[in-house]
């Protein structure tokens, strides 16, 4: 009986090792232009206005966009909406299930204040190399902060609620990607069964909160205002074809149309 038990345990161990060997995370580079678009929440926009944020910029492939409104009393322009987009560089999937495990983004976004006011002594915060962890539901970022915060890599900055959209690729797509296809994209975005994934209700972590307020030089009033921002917005990952892609598609359609016309005349 003891020998049988040992054999059974050995068989279980071998089976577990076999299963572990079969499923492994595989990282693929993304070549089709795809971005993580961070839409700032209204409360966050209000905080940035209150703390005199003067400049929000994107570099190394990241870019920002904004709309403005004018304060009727002071006649000063204030941010009305804000978005920051960073390019998707790599995606890691489970090569058995096709589930997305993580996504790595490039570029950086910098938020700078214009100087001291009632809520801050001034500062700057740069977020770069975002990494989305779909298992933990966290977004990590390299943080470069003013006011002696310095450079801190891979900080857990936000958590997010359950993603909307399909966070997996089909078995057929896994096979295509293993053969060198431009992974995930276009299979996961745009040309497959979905166009985007939304990571809603970004909530700042305790460490992220501390680094944010120190980098921006918030005083007690600024910290209290930051506490009010329960939702930092939503990150949406989506395919954004370049103009050259549209041109190629149009050319292809014209060629097909010409061929069909020639065939009809014959």
Which tens digits make up the pLDDT trace of 178-210?
A: 555 444 444 444 334 456 899 999 999 999 999
Which tens digits make up the pLDDT trace of 8-50?
A: 444 444 444 444 445 578 776 665 678 899 999 999 999 998 8
Note the pLDDT of residue 72.
81
Smallest CA-to-CA distance from 65 within 35, 103, 106, 105 is with 35
pTM: 0.77
Of the listed ranges 83-97, 124-138, 149-163, 214-228, the least confidently predicted one is 83-97
Block residue for tokens 């209000």: 46
Smallest CA-to-CA distance from 166 within 95, 100, 89 is with 100
Strands (E), the chain: 25-29, 34-40, 53-59, 63-70, 77-94, 100-105, 108-113, 124-133, 138-145, 150-159, 196-199, 203-204, 233-239
Of the listed ranges 3-7, 90-94, 205-209, the least confidently predicted one is 3-7
């Amino acid at each position: 009986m003891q020998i049988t038990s040992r054999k059974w345990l050995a068989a279980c161990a071998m089976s577990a090792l076999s299963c572990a060997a079969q499923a492994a995370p595989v990282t693929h580079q993304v070549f089709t232009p795809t971005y993580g678009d961070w839409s700032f929440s209204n409360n966050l926009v209000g905080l940035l206005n209150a703390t005199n944020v003067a400049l929000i910029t994107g570099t190394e492939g990241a870019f920002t966009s904004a709309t403005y409104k004018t304060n009727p009393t002071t006649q000063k322009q204030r941010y009305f909406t804000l978005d920051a987009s960073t390019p998707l560089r790599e995606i890691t999937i489970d090569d058995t299930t096709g589930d997305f495990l993580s996504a790595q983004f490039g570029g950086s976004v910098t938020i700078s204040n214009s100087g001291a006011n009632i809520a801050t002594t001034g500062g700057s915060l740069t977020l770069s190399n975002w990494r989305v962890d779909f298992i933990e539901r966290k977004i990590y970022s390299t943080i470069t902060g003013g006011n002696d915060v310095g450079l801190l890599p891979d900080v857990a900055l936000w958590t997010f609620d359950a993603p909307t959209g399909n966070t997996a690729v089909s078995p057929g797509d896994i096979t295509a990607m293993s053969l060198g296809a431009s992974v995930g994209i276009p299979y996961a975005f745009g040309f497959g069964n979905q166009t985007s994934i939304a990571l809603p209700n970004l909530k700042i972590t305790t460490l992220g909160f501390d680094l944010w307020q120190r980098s921006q030089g918030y005083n007690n009033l600024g910290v209290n205002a930051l506490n009010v921002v329960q939702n930092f917005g939503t990150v949406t990952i989506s395919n954004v074809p370049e103009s050259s892609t549209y041109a190629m598609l149009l050319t292809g359609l014209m060629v097909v149309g010409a061929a069909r016309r020639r065939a009809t005349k014959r």
